[in-house]
Chains A and B, each alone.
Chain A
């Protein structure tokens, strides 16, 4: 096992982590402020990816595609919030789960109806298609490196917004006491729509950015959604900091587990059964991580304030 490969895989893990953060941040904000569990968050990720693929196909511009993914996901988020989600804030979690499950069915089948079941491809931009030489002579994909940079930049922007801006103050106040900020004259339903649109836009952006590495297809959102749930459970619901730490932990564990576990098993097994056992265990690694966190911190690493 060479150091170069290890660094490369660690970077891949970081890249998965920051992308998961974009999903988890929206979910955790929406839960923190509105108390809503949104299963359809993965659908907004898919909407972003499809919008990006469609616009990139028409214009050939990757940046325009990213703008389209943000706009389309935010717009879809606003429409869904106003028509459906708004009615769910006062309901129990079961109703929220079911209604958003129904939204997944509608979004997925609607997209299949529009675009068919064949995956679309979103090309990464020309100027990011090569590799970059890092210190130690490591060749690494420029696009993945840009993903890490973009994800970290969005994370920094989000932290700044929550800590420093008026909207951020309202979000934090909303997490503490929803009724009070309404009584103080904040337009609650406007704030809710805005937070939902923000979370949707982040999901859509993640969808577009990942769509250029993987294929863009119906059902792409739900595996990521479930990973984001694992992230939130580990980090603590409602905590943006927890989402970031959890996302990077999950990204690293998953990526490095897939590389290291088969090699670790190979130390005391023959090669083929080591690969089998190692990759089977690696596919469960993040869930075992989650179970471990739950044993010691049932509210997650940074949870506790809001439950």
Chain B
């Protein structure tokens, strides 16, 4: 328990210290790298609400990540081309304002999660995995075959969107925004996990029949968790697209779903901070192994296989012990 707290603090400090150090020695690339880790951590935290707290193995979270990305891409595209998004029945203009984009990304991905979840949660187990994967793929193919927003080529945005007059093109400023959002999301999710809803969700994961017996509907708990999960991942998608100033169907592909799940597992399922550790490790591996070999995915696969077969519980399981936190 105490070890877990120490690890949490070390992670957050590390994620803050590295970009500051990189800023001092003037290495903007490192700042961008850590920003990437921070954004992917938010995506992982989102998935972890469904996967860790609710036990819902969703292989379709790329749908929400990508929808968040496209929310940013489409709004900013209309703003930069000065064309309205919709003229009828009411006029909606594009926008370059980050907070508006975040809210739209959250709303759109929450709605999608509501629809996908309402259907997928009629089933459990392997069906659920396959169905979420299939629905994720549906969005991918739709994005490819819909030419209005670039189709397969994706959509480029020239200038990063703005918030409160800050210069978001400055790597450190954009990092600070993402880091602040990470803290906010961590705060919300840890409160959520400790709330009556979170406890009931955990109970539904362990024994749905008992939860039903005390008068709670597991379906509604799962669906609520799935929607919150999708919304957080959607926010991460909007930030990710803003980081790259580019959005393409790749964000919606099933590999993205798999990678988001890998962050959660490398860090440790069910721990609020687990995906932060997982995403940081993933980015570090990608950077180091990618430098060693073009075929670094082989090593990633071997590491992942090793973690799944021999080190269940990921980094947090290794360092802080197997017992999942109960605070």
Which residues of A line the B interface, CB within 8 A?
31, 37, 84, 87, 93-95, 97-99, 101-106, 108-110, 112-113, 222-223, 226, 229-230, 232-233, 237, 276, 279-280, 282-284, 287, 290-291, 294-295, 298-300, 307
Contact = CB atoms under 8 A, between A and B. Distances in A.
B123 to A, nearest CB: 5
B131 A31 contact: no
Nearest to B304: A102
Contacts of B148: 276
B51 A232 contact: no
B119 A295 contact: yes
A105 B304 contact: yes
Contacts of A295: 119, 122
A64 B309 CA distance: 37
A250 to B, nearest CB: 11
Contact of A93 (B57, B146, B254, B308): B57
B258 interface: yes
12 contacts: A98-B262, A99-B309, A106-B297, A106-B301, A223-B137, A229-B133, A229-B134, A233-B134, A283-B144, A295-B122, A298-B122, A307-B124
Nearest to A107: B301
| Interface SS, A side | helix
A58 to B, nearest CB: 25
| Interface SS, B side | helix
Given A105-B298, A222-B254, A299-B123, A290 B134 contact: yes
Nearest to B309: A87
Contacts of A98: 261-262, 265, 304, 308
A294 B146 contact: no
A101 B119 contact: no
Contacts of B231: none
Contacts of A226: 133-134, 137, 254
Contacts of B262: 98, 101
B298 A106 contact: yes
Given A229-B134, A287-B138, A298-B123, A279 B145 contact: yes
